[in-house]
Amino acid sequence: MANHKSALKRIRRNEAVRLRNRYQHKTTRNAIKKLRSLEDKKEAETLFPTVMSMIDRLAKRNIVHSNKAANLKSKLAKHVATL
């Protein structure tokens, strides 16, 4: 068990941050799946910028590695272009 007041605070804070990161990551993954499943080019092009910004946000906050974010963005851009 934690011996210091600051350590207890840190435990609470870490849990809050973990839950927020998990929520944001899951939301982004669902948006990516939705974008990949779209068949309509017009609809995909409207959703594309939103998903890109979500991925950028995850990379900026170190929830996903920047290279993984770049790979995801590249693959999604290719997918939307081929529709």
> pLDDT, tens digit, for every residue of 17-65?
999 999 999 999 999 999 999 999 999 999 999 999 999 999 999 999 9
Rounded mean pLDDT of 53-80?
Answer: 97
The domains located in the chain, with CATH, are 5-82 (1.20.58.110)
Q: Which amino acid is at 32?
A: I
How crowded is residue 25: how many other Cβ atoms within 10 Å of its Cβ? 15
Residue percentage of the chain with pLDDT more than 70: 100
CA gap 55, 49 in Å, rounded: 10
The H or E element that residue 1 is part of is none
Q: What is the pTM of this model?
A: 0.89
Residue 52: per-residue pLDDT = 98
